[in-house]
Amino acid sequence: MEEKPQKNGEWVKTFASVLIITIIIRTFLFAPVSVDGASMEPTLHDREKIIVSKTINWVGEIHRGDIVIIKDPEEKMNYVKRVIGLPGETIEMKNDHLHINGEEINESYLTEAKKVTSLHGTTLTEDFGPVTIPKDHYFVMGDNRPHSMDSRGIAPFSLGFIAEDRIIGKSKLVIFPFKNIRKTN
């Protein structure tokens, strides 16, 4: 069998195709994000790399408990936080227990964080509220509540309510370091 010589422009077309597909995937489907800081400990750790699904903008919804990536337009960085309250809900924290619309909510993802903070004799989350979340906004907190800048408090020490259009995706998977590969939801 005789090999046909490859046309000079074939490799350029292949490279351009791969580049276009990569840009489409990163723009509309999935992207890697680095966790910066300890605000999501013990769920996510500083410098871990996670894969973020960007499909929430056109497929799917945001649910309580989702770990989301939030774009901060002023600082040009991303925050990784957990959705605690949904649009229109009234949220309150009393004695380390979350209440939404008057009903206590189990935050099972905080089990390990509560064990750590209880050793130090502190509460995980100080009391606040009740506050009502505006339409098209979310209330977010880090899992490491004593060390998280989130929706609690007043700016500049708070992210405030998060507008839906600032949420760029949901965390799906830790991909680095390789020994820590796991699902995040």
Q: DSSP for 151-172? A: SSS-TTS---SEEGGGEEEEEE
Whether 118 is in a domain gets the answer yes
Contact 60, 90 (CB under 8 A): no
Whether 5 is in a domain gets the answer no
Residue 133, pLDDT score? 97
User: Residues 31-38: contacts with CB within 8 Å, 24+ apart?
Assistant: 31/169, 32/175, 33/69, 33/78, 33/80, 33/169, 33/171, 35/80, 36/77, 36/78, 36/80, 37/147, 38/144, 38/147
Residue 111, pLDDT score? 66
Residue 119, pLDDT score? 55
Count of structural domains, the chain: 1
> 91 Cβ partners below 8 Å, 6+ apart?
84, 85, 98, 99, 100, 129, 130, 131, 132, 133, 139
Whether 95 is in a domain gets the answer yes
Whether 4 is in a domain gets the answer no
pLDDT per 10-residue tile (average), the chain, 185 residues: 62 85 76 89 92 74 92 82 96 92 90 59 80 96 89 78 92 88 82
- Tell me which residues are annotated as active site: 39, 81
Residue 117, pLDDT score? 58
Whether 117 is in a domain gets the answer yes
Q: Element (H or E) spanning 114, and its range?
A: helix 111-119
Closest Cα partner for 105 from 114, 92, 116, 117? 92
Residue 85, pLDDT score? 96
Contact 84, 137 (CB under 8 A): no
Range of the domain at 85: 61-168
Residue 173, pLDDT score? 87
Here the CATH number for the domain that contains residue 89 is 2.10.109.10
**pTM exceeds 0.85, yes or no:** no
Residue 6, pLDDT score? 56
Residue 60, pLDDT score? 66
Whether 65 is in a domain gets the answer yes
Q: List Cα–Cα distances, 23 to 14, 19, 177, in angstroms.
A: 14, 6, 24
> 115 Cβ partners below 8 Å, 6+ apart?
none
Whether 182 is in a domain gets the answer no
